[in-house]
Structure 1
Amino acid sequence: MKLSVVIPAYNEEESLPPTLRALYQTLAKHGIPHEICVTNDNSKDGTLRVLNEMAANEIPTLVPFTNLGPNGFGYAVRYGLERFSGDCVAVFMADMSDDPEDLVKFYNKMLETDVDAVFGSRWGKGGKVIDYPPLKMYINRVANFIVKLLMGIKYNDTTNAFKLYKRETIEGIKPFLAPHFNLTVELPLKTIVRGYSFAVVPNSWTNRKYGESKLKIKEMGSRYFFILMYCLIEKYFSRGDFHKKPVTPVAQTVSR
């Protein structure tokens, strides 16, 4: 099963080299067939130059894209989700906040259980966070509690972008609406609401070493709420119109 990794990148020339090296080395070490799709989201620094140099000289599985616009985290991820070639696809952060070894765990879990998606959880047993800003942590836990309460789910880390989906799952939860960080909520909630199976695997999160976070909390509140309300309406009022369709067995003809 070929794994695609979609990484959105805006002004990440410092973060990308260590992130891509660690990711490639880890996936190669475990013998996982893969491609690393990085969407340069119209960066103003040397991000595109770094990607082209690493693709040409260092990482043969690196596939750089450039999203000229419209721009934003969600648009950059969606750009990659429309172009990956693998059988499954993970969303991974450019700042190395996600651990490549956790991605291997996600991938193996999908192989072992054949679930439609694997979600990471930083807050349950086995999960951990390193240098997580206190205010951001408080807002994160409140937001995830609200999502759990309104949606009636047990999963406690919906806002965690780090997740793995089968290609069929990605196709089944389209069209995407969120243009910004609220895409991280749209993808898993649609997966759950539309009846796709998923497993939860603990993962770690480490604060970035270079650059600054692109998430602007004040700007995102209403956008997260919009996506949450959209998924809530679909869950209770769509009457299953978008639900995962059962697979019809293909009849086999026996030649005599």
Structure 2
Amino acid sequence: MKLSVVLPAYNEEGSIEETLQTLYAKLQAEQIDHEIVVVNDNSKDNTLDLLTQLQAEIPSLVVHTNHGPNGFGYAIRYGLERFSGDCVAVMMSDLSDDPADLVAFYRKMVAENLDCVFGSRFIRGGATYDYPKHKYIINRLANTLIRLLVGIPYNDSTNAFKMYRKHTIDGLKPFLSAHFNLTIELPLKAITRGYSWAVLPNSWRNRKAGESNLKIKEMGSRYLFILLYILIEKYLSRSDYKKKGN
């Protein structure tokens, strides 16, 4: 089963080289058929030049530039429209996600024929390193609210690191989120529409270079919009969007 990995990249010149070299080395060592799809989100630094250079040493690297509209959600959506694998994982370009966890997700999906595999940093085996305290508090409150309102046991919906089968991605369209709220739109749609899923622990490390593009003050209403949409679909759509065959 071919794995695609989609990574958004905006001004990641300080991280992208190490991230891609580490990721490629791990997937090669595990002999996993794959492609690495990086979406340059109209970067203003040297990111695109570095990506072009890296294509000479990483044959599975595919580079796209999203000229606009821009934003985390738009960049991921751009990649999700263009990957060629049988399944796809969303990872970050700053090496905050561990390639070893990616391999575990892939093995789990193949072994159990799952539609989705989600990561949680807050279950046994999960870990965070250098997580800003204020972001941690907001994260736990937001995920608790999501879990209670949607009625699910999954406790890390805002975690961007997740994996989906191609048919699952097709079944979740059209996408509504333009920003980081895409991280909850995808899994919550998958869960409420009846796709099979499992959760594995994963680790997260704060970036060593560059700046995070997540602006917490700007995201509250956007997350709430998606959460309300999911609740409307769950309770009022009369299962019109359920996975076929369920």
Paired with 1:241 and 1:9, the residues of 2 have a C-alpha distance of 35
Paired with 2:230 and 2:53, the residues of 1 have a C-alpha distance of 41
Q: CA deviation at 1:246?
A: 1.1
Q: Hey, what does 2:24 align to over in structure 1?
A: 24
Q: CA deviation at 1:27?
A: 0.3
Structure 2, unaligned runs of 5 or more: none
TM-score (norm 2): 0.99
Paired with 1:245 and 1:173, the residues of 2 have a C-alpha distance of 12
Paired with 2:119 and 2:77, the residues of 1 have a C-alpha distance of 19
Q: Hey, what does 2:213 align to over in structure 1?
A: 214
Note the 1:46-57 alignment, pairs <5 A.
46-55=46-55, 57=56
User: Between Structure 1 and Structure 2, how many residues are aligned?
Assistant: 246
Paired with 2:24 and 2:125, the residues of 1 have a C-alpha distance of 24
1:217 maps to amino acid: I
Paired with 2:243 and 2:119, the residues of 1 have a C-alpha distance of 22
Q: Hey, what does 1:229 align to over in structure 2?
A: 228
Paired with 1:9 and 1:186, the residues of 2 have a C-alpha distance of 20
| 1:214 partner SS | coil
TM-score (norm 1): 0.95
Q: Hey, what does 1:193 align to over in structure 2?
A: 192
| 1:65 partner SS | strand
Q: Hey, what does 1:131 align to over in structure 2?
A: 130
| 2:25 partner SS | helix
| 2:239 partner SS | coil
Q: Hey, what does 1:86 align to over in structure 2?
A: 85
Paired with 1:218 and 1:135, the residues of 2 have a C-alpha distance of 12
Q: CA deviation at 1:35?
A: 0.2
Q: CA deviation at 1:137?
A: 0.2
Paired with 2:162 and 2:54, the residues of 1 have a C-alpha distance of 25
Paired with 2:162 and 2:150, the residues of 1 have a C-alpha distance of 19
Note the 1:1-256 alignment, pairs <5 A.
1-55=1-55, 57-246=56-245
Deviation sequence 1:147-176 (CA, Å, 0-9, x none):
001000000000000000000000001000
Q: Which of 1 and 2 has greater Rg? A: 1
Measured on the aligned residues, the alpha-carbon RMSD in Å equals 0.6
Deviation sequence 1:86-123 (CA, Å, 0-9, x none):
00000000000000000000000001100100000000
| 2:24 partner SS | helix
Q: CA deviation at 1:58?
A: 1.0
1:206 maps to amino acid: R
Paired with 1:31 and 1:128, the residues of 2 have a C-alpha distance of 26
| 2:88 partner SS | strand
Runs of 4+ in 1 over 3 A off after TM superposition: none
In terms of mean alpha carbon deviation, does 238-247 or 143-152 score higher?
A: 238-247
Q: CA deviation at 1:181?
A: 0.2
